[in-house]
Structure 1
Amino acid sequence: MAKITFSKIKIFSFLTLMLVFSLTFAQNSNDIRFQGETYEMPENIATFQWNQMPESARLNNGYVGWIQFYETPTQQVQDLFKQNNLQLLEYIPHQTYLFYFPENTSITLLKNNGVRTIVPVDGNAKLSAKLKSGDYDYWAMNGDNILVTLQYHKNVTDTYAINELGRQQIIVKQNYKEQHILDLSIPNNCLETLSNLSFVKWVDLVVAPAVPDDTRGRSLHRANSLDTQTGAGRNYTGEGIGVMVRDDGRVGPHIDFEGRLTNLTNVANQSHGDGVAGIMAGAGNLIPSNRGMAAGSDVYVVNYQSNFLDNPTLNLINDGSVQITNSSYSNGCNDGYTSITRTVDQQTLDTPTLLHVFSAGNSNGSNCGYGAGTQWGNITGGHKQGKNVIATANVFFDGSLVTSSSRGPAHDGRIKPDIAANGQNQISTNENNTYQTFGGTSGAAPGIAGISAQLYQAYGDLHGGDFPPSALIKATLLNTANEAGNVGPDYKFGWGIVNALQAVKLIEDGRYLSDEVSQGNTNTHTINVPSGTTQVRFMVYWSDQAASPGADPALVNDLDLVVTDPSSNTYEPWILDPTPDPVTLNNPATNGPDHLNNVEQVLINDPAVGNYELDITGFNVPVGPQEYYIVYELISEHVVMTYPNGGEHFQPFIAETIHWDEVNTTDDFVLEYSNNNGSSWNNITTVPNDTHFYTWSVPDEVGGNLLIRVTSGSFQDVSDATFNIARSPLVINVIQVCEDSATFEWSDIDDADSYDLYMLGEKYMEVVGTSSTNSITVPITNPDDPMWFAVSAKNDTEGWEGERNRAKFYAGGILDCLIGVSENEFDNALSLYPNPATSEVYISLSDKTYSNFDITIANSLGQVLQNKTNIDNTSIATINVSNYASGIYFVTIKAGESIATKKLVIQ
Structure 2
Amino acid sequence: MSARYVSRILSLIAIMAAILHLRLQAQESRIVQRYASGTAMTASARQGAPDGGFFLVRFPNVPEQSVLDSWGWIKSLHPRYHIVSKLLPDSTVLTWSSNHNWKASTKLIDRLYALHDQDSVTLIADAAGTAHVLRQAAANVYEIRIAVKDWPAFAADPRLHLADVLRHPHTESASANADLSVDRVNALHAEMPALRGNGMRISLKETLYDTLDIDLHPRHIRHGGEPARTETHATLMATLIAGNGNSGPGSLGAAPRGMIASSDFSRLLPDDAGIFSTLQIHAQNHSYGTGIENYYGLEAVAYDAQVRELDTFLHVFSSGNIGTDAPAEGIYAGLTGFANLSGSFKQAKNILVIGATDGNRTAAPRSSRGPAFDGRIKPELVAYGEGGTSDAAALVSGIGLLLQEQFRLQSGAAPSAALMAAVLINSATDLGAPGPDFITGFGAVDARAAARTVVDRRYATGRVGQGNAFQMPVPAGTGTLRVTMRYTDLEAPANSARALTNDLDLWLTDAAGNRFGPWTLSAFPHKDSLTRTAIPGRDSLNNTEQVQARSAAGGLTIHVQGRKVSGLQTFALAWQWIPDNYFEWDAPAFAETLDARARATLRWSTNIGGPGKIFYRQGDSGNWQPLANVLNVEEGQAGWETPPAFGPMQLRMDVAGKSFTGPQFLVAPRLRPATGFICEDSALVWWAAAPGASRYRVYALENDAYRLLGETVDTTFAFRPSTVVSGIVAVSAVAQQEGARSAAHRFSANAPGCYVRNFTADLDAAGAVQLQLELGTPVGLRNIRWFRQGMVLGSETPGNGFVYAATDERPPQGIVYYYAELELANGRRILTDAVPVAVTGADEYVLFPNPAGEWIRLLAKGLRGQQIVVTDMQGRVRKSLRMESLQQEIPLGGLPAGNYWIGVYEDGKRQFGARFVKVR
Same fold (TM over 0.5): yes
Distance 1:26 1:776 in 2: 77
Match of 1:791 in 2: 731
Match of 2:506 in 1: 561
Which letter does structure 1 place at the counterpart of 2:705?
Answer: Y
- Of 145, 167, 176, which aligns to 1:185? 145
1:629 aligned counterpart, secondary structure: strand
Shift of 1:633: 0.8
Match of 2:746 in 1: 809
- Contact 1:149–1:206 (CA<8 Å) still a contact in 2? yes
Shift of 1:358: 1.0
1:470 to 2:505 alignment: no
Match of 1:877 in 2: none
Residues 283 and 808 from structure 1, CA distance in 2 versus in 1: closer, same or farther, beyond 3 angstroms? Answer: same
Residues 575 and 139 from structure 1, CA distance in 2 versus in 1: closer, same or farther, beyond 3 angstroms? Answer: farther
Match of 1:327 in 2: 286
Residues 133 and 467 from structure 1, CA distance in 2 versus in 1: closer, same or farther, beyond 3 angstroms? Answer: closer
1:638 to 2:585 alignment: no
Render the CA deviation track for 1:337-381: whole Å, top value 9, x for unaligned.
Answer: 111111111111111111111111111222104146212111221
Shift of 1:696: 2.6
Distance 1:540 1:518 in 2: 16
Shift of 1:777: 6.0
- Of 521, 540, 550, which aligns to 1:576? 521
Shift of 1:737: 6.8
Render the CA deviation track for 1:371-404: whole Å, top value 9, x for unaligned.
Answer: 4621211122111121111111111111111111
Match of 1:194 in 2: 154
1:193 aligned counterpart, secondary structure: helix
1:591 to 2:550 alignment: no
Match of 1:22 in 2: 57
- Contact 1:471–1:629 (CA<8 Å) still a contact in 2? yes
2:740 aligned counterpart, secondary structure: coil
Which letter does structure 1 place at the counterpart of 2:265?
Answer: Y
Shift of 1:134: 3.4
Residues 267 and 678 from structure 1, CA distance in 2 versus in 1: closer, same or farther, beyond 3 angstroms? Answer: farther
Which letter does structure 2 place at the counterpart of 1:601?
Answer: Q
Residues 778 and 316 from structure 1, CA distance in 2 versus in 1: closer, same or farther, beyond 3 angstroms? Answer: farther
Shift of 1:786: 3.4
1:220 aligned counterpart, secondary structure: coil
Match of 1:670 in 2: 613
Shift of 1:728: 2.4
Distance 1:548 1:40 in 2: 20
Match of 1:453 in 2: 401
Structure 1 spans left out of the alignment, 5+ residues: 43-121, 153-160, 425-438, 818-831, 840-859, 861-886, 888-900
Matches within 5 A, 1:679-718: 679-689=622-632, 691-718=634-661
Deviates more, 1:31-40 or 1:641-650: 31-40
Deviates more, 1:787-796 or 1:297-306: 297-306
- Contact 1:126–1:203 (CA<8 Å) still a contact in 2? no
1:257 to 2:216 alignment: yes
- Of 149, 153, 169, which aligns to 1:210? 169
Which letter does structure 2 place at the counterpart of 1:805?
Answer: S
- Contact 2:685–2:747 (CA<8 Å) still a contact in 1? no
Residues 272 and 390 from structure 1, CA distance in 2 versus in 1: closer, same or farther, beyond 3 angstroms? Answer: same
Residues 214 and 701 from structure 1, CA distance in 2 versus in 1: closer, same or farther, beyond 3 angstroms? Answer: closer
Match of 1:33 in 2: 73
- Contact 1:256–1:284 (CA<8 Å) still a contact in 2? yes
Deviates more, 1:632-641 or 1:359-368: 632-641
Distance 1:808 1:137 in 2: 57
TM-score (norm 2): 0.70
Distance 1:905 1:677 in 2: 60
2:181 aligned counterpart, secondary structure: helix
Match of 1:748 in 2: 689
- Contact 2:511–2:554 (CA<8 Å) still a contact in 1? yes
Shift of 1:566: 3.1
Matches within 5 A, 1:289-308: 289-308=250-269
Aligned length: 705
Match of 2:231 in 1: 270
1:414 to 2:440 alignment: no
- Contact 1:327–1:358 (CA<8 Å) still a contact in 2? yes
Q: What is the percentage of aligned positions where both structures have the same residue? A: 23
Which letter does structure 1 place at the counterpart of 2:315?
Answer: H
- Contact 1:360–1:380 (CA<8 Å) still a contact in 2? yes
Residues 322 and 11 from structure 1, CA distance in 2 versus in 1: closer, same or farther, beyond 3 angstroms? Answer: farther
Distance 1:40 1:17 in 2: 8
Distance 1:572 1:374 in 2: 31
- Contact 2:179–2:250 (CA<8 Å) still a contact in 1? no
Distance 1:238 1:148 in 2: 40
Render the CA deviation track for 1:550-583: whole Å, top value 9, x for unaligned.
Answer: 1222111111112012333221111101111111
Residues 583 and 793 from structure 1, CA distance in 2 versus in 1: closer, same or farther, beyond 3 angstroms? Answer: same
Render the CA deviation track for 1:567-622: whole Å, top value 9, x for unaligned.
Answer: 332211111011111111111101111111111111134x2354311111101113
Match of 1:358 in 2: 317
- Of 104, 110, 113, which aligns to 1:135? 110
Match of 1:733 in 2: 675
- Contact 2:521–2:533 (CA<8 Å) still a contact in 1? yes
Render the CA deviation track for 1:774-813: whole Å, top value 9, x for unaligned.
Answer: 4556688x558332110101113xxx32221121124599
- Of 584, 588, 592, which aligns to 1:648? 592
Match of 1:385 in 2: 347
1:399 to 2:361 alignment: yes
- Contact 2:117–2:148 (CA<8 Å) still a contact in 1? no
Render the CA deviation track for 1:754-786: whole Å, top value 9, x for unaligned.
Answer: 222222123223334333444556688x55833
Match of 2:773 in 1: none
Match of 1:147 in 2: 122
Render the CA deviation track for 1:193-219: whole Å, top value 9, x for unaligned.
Answer: 224457x44331224331222373310
- Contact 2:118–2:148 (CA<8 Å) still a contact in 1? no
Shift of 1:501: 0.7
Shift of 1:326: 1.3
Residues 615 and 144 from structure 1, CA distance in 2 versus in 1: closer, same or farther, beyond 3 angstroms? Answer: same
Which letter does structure 1 place at the counterpart of 2:442?
Answer: W
Render the CA deviation track for 1:228-250: whole Å, top value 9, x for unaligned.
Answer: 3xxx7433222211122222444
- Contact 1:323–1:355 (CA<8 Å) still a contact in 2? yes
2:215 aligned counterpart, secondary structure: helix
Distance 1:279 1:545 in 2: 32
> Which protein has greater RCO, CA pairs closer than 8 Å, 6+ apart?
1
Shift of 1:420: 0.7
1:616 to 2:560 alignment: yes
Shift of 1:310: 4.9
- Contact 1:674–1:706 (CA<8 Å) still a contact in 2? yes
Match of 2:187 in 1: 225
Distance 2:275 2:117 in 1: 32
Residues 124 and 345 from structure 1, CA distance in 2 versus in 1: closer, same or farther, beyond 3 angstroms? Answer: farther
Which letter does structure 2 place at the counterpart of 1:400?
Answer: T
Larger Rg: 2
Residues 790 and 838 from structure 1, CA distance in 2 versus in 1: closer, same or farther, beyond 3 angstroms? Answer: farther
Q: CA RMSD in A?
A: 3.8
- Contact 1:678–1:707 (CA<8 Å) still a contact in 2? no
Render the CA deviation track for 1:276-334: whole Å, top value 9, x for unaligned.
Answer: 222222211111243121111112222213522456xx554232432221111112314
Distance 1:317 1:678 in 2: 53
Residues 838 and 417 from structure 1, CA distance in 2 versus in 1: closer, same or farther, beyond 3 angstroms? Answer: farther
Distance 1:905 1:346 in 2: 72
Deviates more, 1:202-211 or 1:589-598: 202-211
Shift of 1:546: 1.0
Which letter does structure 2 place at the counterpart of 1:588?
Answer: T
1:8 to 2:8 alignment: no
Render the CA deviation track for 1:30-56: whole Å, top value 9, x for unaligned.
Answer: 7642113222499xxxxxxxxxxxxxx
Residues 838 and 270 from structure 1, CA distance in 2 versus in 1: closer, same or farther, beyond 3 angstroms? Answer: farther
Which letter does structure 2 place at the counterpart of 1:711?
Answer: D
Match of 1:627 in 2: 570
TM-score (norm 1): 0.71
